[in-house]
Amino acid sequence: MPFKFIHITDTHLANPGLKLYGLDPRARLDAAIADINKHQSDAAFAVVTGDLTHWGEPESYANFADAMAALKIPYIAMVGNHDKRVACLDGLKAAPRDSNGFVQGTRITEHGLFVFLDTLDETSHAGEMCAKRLGWLASTLAAAPADMPFVVFMHHPPFPVGVHAMDEISLKQSPEFAEVIAPYRSRIRHLFFGHVHRPIFGSYGKIPFSTLRGTNHQVWFELDAAAAEHLASHEPPAYGVVLIDGENLVVHSHDFLDESLRFPFEPPAGVDGRGYALNIPAR
Ligand SMILES: [Fe+2]
Ligand SMILES: [Fe+2]
């Protein structure tokens, strides 16, 4: 059996009872957790790649912690641009903390060292990796055994993804980040990030990457910087299921609220395949 973990991103929890963009972020997160508990409880852990809360208030972290307490597997909580570092660290034991007080840490797994980065700049929605955070990353990667692979997690993408409004608030220190990871590129099996609220996958240099829809609202697909207004959307939410073995790393994006019809490919016994019409109840 491959090693399995869960990727959740951009939960954007508000204080209890508050809706966000017409949706209930707590109910959405509860639904994701219930689905994970029911179908993915053999996963080793979950990683939540930031924007845990929308306004960074202590009550919102308490709301997040209360929801996540129902999750049957451990989790790691990371910060995004909507978060507040002190409130996050005070409210969540699942948030790692480095020696400089940033929300950064690592976890050893049977498939290498998982590295969790803090790209929060509390004065901007763009991402930041200051000299201290980059220094921590450099020393963390350097300290690992030479044959150990890495899996890296961060909230902001360190390169443009083409969704113009989000590219304007990606990681500001892309060149510096690229320089720090340069000696280790061949050992980074995958880069996971959040922030963009869209399913996007590809490669960053030769490093495979993926990101997901958030569990509340989404960002509308728009590549045209000249024509386009920056729009959010109610496209369906998702979480990711990641399977790793010695050769492959596979990411599934699961629309956990989807209620569309499921049916066997083959018609029931005795029914002519050419006459196999699904009896779809009217909604
Ligand atoms: Fe977000
Ligand atoms: Fe974000």
Domains with residue ranges and CATH for the chain: 3-275 (3.60.21.10)
Give the SS3 label for residue 187: helix
What is the rounded average pLDDT of the residues 67-82? 98
Report which bound ligand comes closest to the CA of 8.
Answer: 1
Under 8 Å between Cβ of 88 and 79: yes
Query: Which CA distances in Å does 51 have to 43, 144, 265?
Result: 22, 29, 40
- 234 DSSP β-pair partners: none
pLDDT at 264 over 90: no
The tens digit of pLDDT for each residue in 221-249 reads 999 888 668 899 999 999 999 999 999 99
Mean pLDDT, the chain, integer: 95
Sign of CA dihedral 36, 39, 44, 49: negative
pLDDT for the residue numbered 281: 63
Two structure tokens written together for 227: 């024509």
pLDDT at 146 over 80: yes
pLDDT at 42 over 80: yes
CA of 28 to the centre of ligand 1 (A): 14
Sign of CA dihedral 120, 178, 197, 162: positive
What is the rounded average pLDDT of the residues 30-36? 98
Query: Tokens 């639904």 identify what position?
Result: 31
Spell out which residues have Cβ within 5 A of ligand 2, the ion: 51, 80-81, 195
Q: Name the DSSP class of 281.
A: P
What is the rounded average pLDDT of the residues 15-38? 98
CA of 52 to the centre of ligand 1 (A): 8
pLDDT for the residue numbered 1: 84
CA of 266 to the centre of ligand 1 (A): 41
pLDDT at 271 over 90: no
Report which bound ligand comes closest to the CA of 125.
Answer: 2
pLDDT for the residue numbered 276: 73
pLDDT at 105 over 90: yes
pLDDT for the residue numbered 37: 98
Q: Name the DSSP class of 67.
A: H
150-154 and 188-193 strand pairing? parallel
Backbone angles phi, psi at 96, to 5 degrees: -70, 160
What is the rounded average pLDDT of the residues 55-64? 98
Give 266's pLDDT tier (boundaries 50, 70, 90): confident
Report which bound ligand comes closest to the CA of 217.
Answer: 1
CA of 156 to the centre of ligand 1 (A): 9
Residue from 49, 52, 28, 32 nearest 40 by CA? 32
Q: Cα 195–136–126 angle (5° rounding)?
A: 25
Q: Express the helix, strand and coil content of the chain in percent, nearest 5 each.
A: 25, 25, 55
Give 185's pLDDT tier (boundaries 50, 70, 90): very high
